[in-house]
């Protein structure tokens, strides 16, 4: 199992040290590094990330503040030189809180916790016999069965869910990555930065587009393998 992670720290030196330490762990893949959390939400919208390593005291905003405002945050490990944010970090369900300079054995223990949580998540998803997803629509929970979902479109902090036998899509506050994490891969596939489709609804496809009955959707270059 590869742990896909991003690193956030306004100090380049600290960022490089953490990257060097993580390169020693074969089960870790560093997807991207950031000197500021500002651009991270857009990145998360379009990339699969299991874990965020985040500094706390940064000029634009605190790392804890940043995580608190993410709609569907991945797992989080805070890295900081300050003790006073520890309680807030764990209130945000952080996997761990690592004090700088980070000892290798503490980093290893934190990654083991992440690995265990990801394995449990995958196990529960595999064992679950549920064939529906619950979403929030206009202040109420709505149950959507997988078979009635045709495709899903991402709109920054919202998604549109297009259903069979319904003219207008449902709108819910989330991002595409958050919705994708709740859907079974055997039924749904990401085909574009903005689209997830129900594979059972495909009527035909070409290299750069997919047809779901009368609906035509583009296939992003990085998602061609998903269709093939």
Burial class (CB in 10 A: 0-12, 13-18, 19+), 176: buried
* Distance, CA of 226 to CA of 192 (rounded, Å): 10
> What pLDDT shows up at residue 95?
94
| pLDDT tens column, 42-51 | 999 889 899 9
* Distance, CA of 159 to CA of 8 (rounded, Å): 26
pLDDT at residue 113 is higher than 90: yes
Q: Out of 81, 98, 127, pick the residue that ends a domain.
A: 127
Helices (H), the chain: 12-22, 40-46, 63-68, 86-91, 104-127, 176-180, 224-227
pLDDT band at 38 (very low <50, low <70, confident <90, very high): very high
Q: Is the domain of 107 the same as that of 122?
A: yes
- Regarding pTM above 0.85, the answer is no
Q: Is the domain of 182 the same as that of 104?
A: no
Domain hosting 199: range is 132-227
Q: Is the domain of 82 the same as that of 107?
A: yes
Domain count, the chain: 2
Q: Is the domain of 117 the same as that of 177?
A: no
Nearest to 28 by CA among 1, 65, 46, 55: 1
Residue 197 and residue 217 in contact, taking contact as beta carbons nearer than 8 Å: yes
Q: Average pLDDT in the 20-32 region?
A: 96
Q: Is the domain of 185 the same as that of 121?
A: no
pLDDT band at 202 (very low <50, low <70, confident <90, very high): very high
Q: Is the domain of 70 the same as that of 166?
A: no
Phi, psi dihedral angles at 66 (to 5 degrees): -60, -50
| pLDDT tens column, 67-109 | 999 988 899 999 999 889 888 888 888 999 999 999 999 999 9
């Amino acid at each position: 199992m590869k742990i896909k992670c991003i690193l956030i720290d306004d100090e380049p030196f600290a960022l490089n040290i953490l990257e060097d330490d993580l390169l020693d762990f074969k089960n870790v893949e560093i997807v991207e590094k950031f000197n500021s959390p500002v651009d991270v939400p857009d990145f998360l919208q379009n990339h699969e990330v299991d874990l965020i390593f985040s500094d706390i005291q940064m000029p634009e905003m605190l790392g804890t503040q940043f995580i608190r405002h993410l709609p569907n945050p991945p797992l989080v490990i805070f890295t900081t030189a300050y003790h006073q944010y520890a309680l807030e970090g764990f209130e945000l369900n952080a996997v761990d809180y690592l004090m700088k300079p980070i000892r290798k054995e503490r980093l290893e223990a934190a990654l083991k916790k992440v690995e265990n949580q990801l394995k449990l998540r995958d196990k529960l998803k595999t064992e679950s016999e549920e064939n529906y997803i619950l979403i929030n629509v206009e202040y109420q929970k709505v149950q959507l069965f997988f078979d009635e979902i045709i495709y899903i479109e991402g709109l920054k902090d919202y998604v549109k869910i297009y259903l069979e036998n319904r003219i207008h899509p449902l709108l819910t506050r989330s991002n595409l990555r958050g919705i994708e994490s709740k859907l079974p891969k055997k039924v749904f596939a990401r085909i574009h930065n903005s689209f997830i489709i129900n594979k059972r609804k495909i009527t035909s496809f070409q290299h750069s587009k997919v047809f779901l009955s009368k609906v035509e959707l583009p296939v992003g270059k990085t998602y061609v393998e998903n269709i093939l």
